[in-house]
Structure 1
Amino acid sequence: MERYLTMCLVAVLLCGMAACKKSKSVNTETKPSEEQGPEPNTPYKSLNYLYKILGKKTLAGIHNREPNAQPAKWTEEIKSTTDLYPALWSGDFLFQQDNINNRQLMVNEALKQWKQGAVINIMWHACNPANSQPCAWDDGKGVMSSLSDAQWTELITDGTAINIRWKQMMDEVSVYLSFLKDNGVEVLWRPLHEMNQGKFWWAGRPGANGTARLWQLTYNYMRNTKGLTNLIWVWDMQDFSSLTADLKSYNPGKEYWDVAALDVYEGNGFTVAKYQAMLGISGGKPIALGECSKLPTAQQLLEQPKWTFFMGWSELVFSNNSDEQIRALHQAANVLTLNEMPGW
Structure 2
Amino acid sequence: MKQMSFYTLLFSAVLSMAACSKSNNTTTTPPEKKDTVINTGFKTLDYLYSISGKKTLSGIHNREPNATPARWTEEIKNTTGKYPALWSGDFLFQADNINNRQIMIDEAVRQWNKGAVINLMWHACNPANTQPCGWDDGKGVQSRLTNEQWTELCTDGTVLNGKWKVMMDEVCVYLQQLEDKGVEVLWRPLHEMNQGVFWWGGRSGPDGTRKLWQLMRDYMTKTKGLSNLIWVWDIQDFPSLANDVSGYNPGAAYFDMVALDIYDDGSGYSQSKYEAMVKAAAGKPMAIGECQRLPTAAELRNQSRWVFFMGWSELTFSKNSTAEINNLYSADNIITLDKMPGWK
TM > 0.5 between the two? yes
* Counterpart check, 1:113 vs 2:114: no
- For normalisation by structure 1, the TM-score amounts to 0.90
1:77 partner SS: helix
**Which amino acid counterpart does residue 251 of structure 1 have in structure 2?**
N
> Which of 162, 165, 182 pairs up with 1:164?
162
- State the match for 2:282 in structure 1: 283
Larger Cα-atom Rg? 1
> Which of 36, 54, 57 pairs up with 1:56?
54
Q: Offset at 1:39?
A: 3.6
Kept in 2, the 8 Å contact 1:195–1:237? The answer is yes
Q: Offset at 1:40?
A: 1.7
Higher helix content, 1 or 2:
1
Whole-Å Cα distance in 2 between the matches of residues 333 and 209 of structure 1?
A: 44
- State the match for 1:206 in structure 2: 204
* Counterpart check, 1:342 vs 2:338: no
**Which amino acid counterpart does residue 329 of structure 2 have in structure 1?**
H
* Counterpart check, 1:298 vs 2:297: yes
Give runs of aligned pairs for residues 134-153 of structure 1, distance below 5 A: 134-153=132-151
- State the match for 2:41 in structure 1: 43
- State the match for 2:313 in structure 1: 314
- State the match for 1:194 in structure 2: 192
> Which of 71, 74, 79 pairs up with 2:72?
74
2:54 partner SS: coil
Runs (5+) with no aligned partner, structure 2 = 1-29
1:314 partner SS: coil
User: CA 1:55–1:96 in structure 2 vs 1: closer, same or farther (change >3 Å)?
Assistant: same
Kept in 2, the 8 Å contact 1:135–1:142? The answer is yes
Kept in 1, the 8 Å contact 2:31–2:283? The answer is no
Kept in 2, the 8 Å contact 1:38–1:284? The answer is no
1:126 partner SS: coil
Kept in 1, the 8 Å contact 2:116–2:340? The answer is yes
Kept in 2, the 8 Å contact 1:37–1:284? The answer is no
* Counterpart check, 1:85 vs 2:83: yes
- State the match for 1:4 in structure 2: none
> Which of 120, 125, 128 pairs up with 2:126?
128
Q: Offset at 1:221?
A: 0.3
**Which amino acid counterpart does residue 72 of structure 1 have in structure 2?**
A
User: CA 1:271–1:35 in structure 2 vs 1: closer, same or farther (change >3 Å)?
Assistant: farther
Whole-Å Cα distance in 2 between the matches of residues 278 and 35 of structure 1?
A: 18
Kept in 1, the 8 Å contact 2:31–2:37? The answer is no
Q: Offset at 1:37?
A: 7.8
2:139 partner SS: coil
- State the match for 1:183 in structure 2: 181
Q: Determine what percentage of the aligned residue pairs are the same residue.
A: 65
* Counterpart check, 1:272 vs 2:275: no
Whole-Å Cα distance in 2 between the matches of residues 128 and 38 of structure 1?
A: 43
1:246 partner SS: helix
Q: Deviations over 1:102-121 (max 9, x none)?
A: 00000000000000000000
Q: Offset at 1:36?
A: 2.0
Count of residues paired in the alignment: 313
Whole-Å Cα distance in 1 between the matches of residues 210 and 35 of structure 2?
A: 24
Kept in 2, the 8 Å contact 1:64–1:75? The answer is yes
User: CA 1:240–1:114 in structure 2 vs 1: closer, same or farther (change >3 Å)?
Assistant: same
RMSD: 1.2
Whole-Å Cα distance in 2 between the matches of residues 196 and 45 of structure 1?
A: 30
- State the match for 2:213 in structure 1: 215
**Which amino acid counterpart does residue 84 of structure 2 have in structure 1?**
P
**Which amino acid counterpart does residue 301 of structure 1 have in structure 2?**
L
**Which amino acid counterpart does residue 252 of structure 2 have in structure 1?**
K
Q: Offset at 1:38?
A: 5.9
Kept in 1, the 8 Å contact 2:38–2:46? The answer is yes
**Which amino acid counterpart does residue 288 of structure 1 have in structure 2?**
A
Kept in 1, the 8 Å contact 2:293–2:320? The answer is yes
2:314 partner SS: helix
- For normalisation by structure 2, the TM-score amounts to 0.90
2:58 partner SS: strand
Whole-Å Cα distance in 2 between the matches of residues 288 and 40 of structure 1?
A: 18
Q: Offset at 1:41?
A: 1.0
**Which amino acid counterpart does residue 167 of structure 1 have in structure 2?**
K
- State the match for 1:28 in structure 2: none
Whole-Å Cα distance in 1 between the matches of residues 31 and 112 of structure 2?
A: 32
User: CA 1:286–1:249 in structure 2 vs 1: closer, same or farther (change >3 Å)?
Assistant: same
Kept in 2, the 8 Å contact 1:37–1:285? The answer is no
Q: Deviations over 1:220-254 (max 9, x none)?
A: 00011111100000000000011010000100101
Kept in 2, the 8 Å contact 1:36–1:284? The answer is no
Q: Offset at 1:33?
A: 8.2
- State the match for 1:29 in structure 2: none
User: CA 1:252–1:297 in structure 2 vs 1: closer, same or farther (change >3 Å)?
Assistant: same
- State the match for 1:236 in structure 2: 234
Whole-Å Cα distance in 1 between the matches of residues 144 and 50 of structure 2?
A: 40
